[in-house]
Amino acid sequence: MKEFQTKNNSELSKNGECPFMHGSSTKPETSPLKWWPKRLNLDILHQHDKKSNPYSNDFDYREVVKTLDFKNLENDMLELMTTPQDWWPADWGHYGGLMIRMAWHAAGTYRVADGRGGAGTGNLRFAPLNSWPDNGNLDKARRLLWPVKKKYGNKISWADLFILAGNIAYESMGFQTYGFSYGRADIWQPEIDIYWGPEEEIMAPSENRYSNLDDPSTLETPLGATHMGLIYVNPEGVNGKPDPLKTALQVRETFKRMAMNDEETAALTAGGHTVGKAHGNGDASKLGAEPEAAEIKDQGFGWINPTLKSKGTITSGLEGAWTTNPTKWDNGYFEMLFNHEWELKKSPAGAWQWEPINIKEEDKPVDAMNPNKRKNPIMTDADMAMKMDPIYKEICLKFKRDPDYFSKTFAKAWFKLTHRDMGPKVRYIGPDVPNEDLIWQDPIPSGSKNYNEDDVKDKISKSGLSISDRVVIAWDSAKTFRNSDLRGGANGARLSLSPQKEWKANEPGRLSNTISVLKTISSEFDISLSDTIVLAGNTAIEEASKSSGYEIKIPFNKGRGDATQEMTDVASFSNLEPKADAFRNWSDDNISSSPEEVMVDQAQLLGLSAPEMTVLIGGMRVLGTNHENNKDGVFTENEGVLTNDFFVNLTDMNNSWDIVGKNKYEIKDRNSQKLKWTASSVDLVFGSNSILRSYAELYAQDDNKEKFVNDFVKVWNKLMNADLF
């Protein structure tokens, strides 16, 4: 506290007035919890509150967008591509390269490890993305799109517009895209749940992110870039030092974390650099501040270049186009890369780039601003990796020999890049949705609705499965859902398939036995296993609630389907494996974060609020759902009955709490010191954290026993249906 007081005393005005004379804390560093940085950040559970959204509660973008005049919008955007504006010159009179880069960088933040990032929210408008070095001058692309956004208004989101602009740009250059879906709803403030890296400095040395920089796989999970401030890798090379073979390894790792294989990576690299150019024609030190740091008078414009008219733009610092015809889709990238030898040179902005040693004048691209002048093409270190890495080289030579195959591969990879975080295909909207089912879309067939659910429930209740068995399998089936990229969940019954059936978190032996019983029932009634699993959980909770004196019936939606092993991308689904499950009081011994931190992360991905997380924990404990039947946190004498006992006993001051080992606590009678229960830190954080305790006390009240049951059932039902769209 002394440091804080000293700092603030130094800020006092001469007449002793507080610098915050307006009376409120209006700066980000004045958070009430800043003095206790180890406290849980529960704010990530409550971001994007309706108060930040200017639309009315009944506004549903995904319904409104269906009324859009798709054709007219696309025609207007096509015209925009070749209509240069004086305030921001167009390279060769075409904004296509800029728009493609914007779409790519909006989508390219996706990482498969936690499903966060991607283009689905329009977050490119906000910090930190709007001010990353890698996104330099994309604020100009957004302003160029503003007349279109203004015209079509609520019927088109910024998020959709960013990706559509990339598609239209490619099509204006002669490329046939694979497809497009509308339906990305905008957010209205920065996302605070996404971890962008440990550094406090943008573009800090890569070593901050790696255990061993020579081993790209040691890049901290879930990060997908070599520096904070980049989408993937440094275009000059690892830490700005050119070495194509080292860069190849980094490219392979970062694209793998975006769920791309080697062929998709090579196609995206080549296809992205077939059109457009890099910008570094001038002194980068003369650029103005990024948007978030710019002056009010700049009105959100960043990187203002005082020498723009005479020198051209500065973005990456590299300068030049990759191909002879940078506004046409062709096979020129491979012709240029493989038909020339390359040497390292410095751009006018002082960045390392590769240029051809010998090249015919007619093979050089025309200068972007002067049609009477030709300039050397360039390659980044990542481009040279496509030539020098033996795996990428073989793929690229295949593309060179077969341009049609390259175009088709790129089209699908681009579609995957720009749609990966949209969830299943059933969510796609618009006239250009492809008919084909792709494995990365996690396809699930429709299930039967022609059955009597009460008959099925009765059969399940008489099956011999305990309340705990039934709640556990339903929970384990649903808990994989990620609100980030809308993957996972109960639909599909992938709990019965690899890799989920082998996950330690799911107790494979117990799971196999429960699945066997429920498969028999699902076969008897000719319904999906996934519907049967959810019904099993519902019956158990209804019985547990009845035992506590409350008759409830959980709403149920029929029609889930069962995926097959062939429909399941095992490698991709492996990223959904939990390393901890707070709701079953289990964590892997090897996790580096505290179990309670992982709990908040898990809750955020499930789309839970802090009160929902709290009531769910309390209910799961008394239902006896802990991993391998451990008794930590089971603060009740009536296990299997849906009561508020967890909260009653947690908040009882007749108890004392002692730590007895790693993440192990004992709860004793304060007077007799008789051992009553054991607990983990996940259990006790609901008593120690002031915010969580406020919820725990609410549910411990004598008059809230029924509220607890109703709230638990509500959040349970929410999770069982989270993946039904």
Asked whether 324 and 365 are in contact (CB, 8 A), the reply is yes
Asked whether 165 and 102 are in contact (CB, 8 A), the reply is yes
Q: Write out the H or E segment, with its range, that includes residue 666.
A: strand 664-669
Half-sphere exposure of 530 (CA within 13 A, CB side): 29
Tokens of 479: 């808990």
Tokens of 326: 């940078």
C-alpha 275: how far from its chain's center? 28
Task: List residues with catalytic annotation.
Answer: 105
Taking the C-alpha atoms of residue 122 and residue 76, their distance in angstroms, rounded to an integer, is 20
Taking the C-alpha atoms of residue 340 and residue 360, their distance in angstroms, rounded to an integer, is 10
List CB contacts of 498: < 8 A, sequence separation 6 or more.
565, 568, 570
Phi, psi of 82 (to 5 degrees): -120, 30
Tokens of 531: 């519907």
Taking CA atoms, 676 is separated from 623, 662, 685, in Å, by 18, 19, 18
Asked whether 134 and 101 are in contact (CB, 8 A), the reply is no
Taking the C-alpha atoms of residue 260 and residue 416, their distance in angstroms, rounded to an integer, is 9
Taking the C-alpha atoms of residue 148 and residue 169, their distance in angstroms, rounded to an integer, is 15
Taking the C-alpha atoms of residue 480 and residue 477, their distance in angstroms, rounded to an integer, is 7
Closest among 58, 64, 83 to 148, alpha carbons compared: 83
Taking the C-alpha atoms of residue 177 and residue 583, their distance in angstroms, rounded to an integer, is 44
Q: Give the orientation angle of helix 529-547 with respect to helix 508-525, to 10 degrees.
A: 100
Asked whether 54 and 157 are in contact (CB, 8 A), the reply is no
Burial class of 139 by CB neighbour count within 10 A (0 to 12, 13 to 18, 19+): buried
List CB contacts of 196: < 8 A, sequence separation 6 or more.
128, 223, 228
For every residue of 300-344, which 3-state class applies, written as one string? CCCCCCCCHHHHCCECCCCCEECCCCCCCCCCHHHHHHHCCCEEE
Give the torsion sign (CA, 624, 628, 631, 632): negative
Eight-class DSSP state of 68: S
Closest among 406, 424, 559 to 486, alpha carbons compared: 424
Taking the C-alpha atoms of residue 677 and residue 664, their distance in angstroms, rounded to an integer, is 11
Coil vs helix vs strand at 446:
coil
DSSP string, 508-546: HHHHHHHHHHHHHHHHHHT--HHHHHHHHHHHHHHHHHH
Tokens of 428: 């796609």
CA angle 681, 686, 689 (to 5 degrees): 95
Taking CA atoms, 666 is separated from 181, 680, 683, in Å, by 54, 9, 11
Eight-class DSSP state of 23: S
